[in-house]
Amino acid sequence: MDIVIRPVEPGEYAELGEITAQAYLLDGLLDFGESDAYLGRLRDVAGRAAAAEVLVAVERGTVLGGVAFVPGPGPMADLAEPGEAEIRMLAVARAGRGRGAGEALVRACLDRARGLEGCRRIVLSTQRSMRSAHRLYERLGFVRCPERDWNPVPDLSDVMLLTYELTL
């Protein structure tokens, strides 16, 4: 495996934004498809990079996927409380799946969280249908925290995000 994890470069923002958007679209994770308001946020890598550390998985010059590492509460955090870091918008292009890119991105986030003074835990949200992601998180030691599950779209009661956490 020759996958390298590194910070995203500004010249890769559009590419990673499209990888992220297409991963969510093709996996049927957006309730309103191409008209889903969240699609714009998925494509906005520059916005993420201004508020979090955005990492990419690259193999032989090709961006396979990316993730936002949120070091604590702030504008990019959905869940993180003091003493917690958060993983957001993990996405791997279909061509890069099954090769370890997703796991390498999550492990890089874990390493960063362990390096933060006072960080005791790392948290993330996931959709019920993201079963392969759940298996990855559980294999890496994350556990479900149903008491922290939440609804990002209160008008749609059937939209519930599952919460996982890992104590460092």
Tell me how many domains the chain contains: 1
Number of H helices, E strands in the chain: 5, 7
Q: Which residue has the tokens 């990492």?
A: 55
Q: Which residue has the tokens 């362990």?
A: 114
Domain boundaries, position 42: 3-167
Q: Which residue has the tokens 């714009």?
A: 40
In a structure prediction context, what are the per-residue pLDDT tens digits for the chain, which is 168 residues long? 589 999 999 999 999 999 999 999 988 888 778 988 889 999 999 999 999 999 999 999 999 999 999 999 999 999 999 999 999 999 999 988 999 999 999 999 999 999 999 999 999 999 988 888 999 999 999 999 999 998 887 666 666 899 999 999
pTM score, whole prediction:
0.93
Q: What is the CATH number of the domain that holds 96?
A: 3.40.630.30
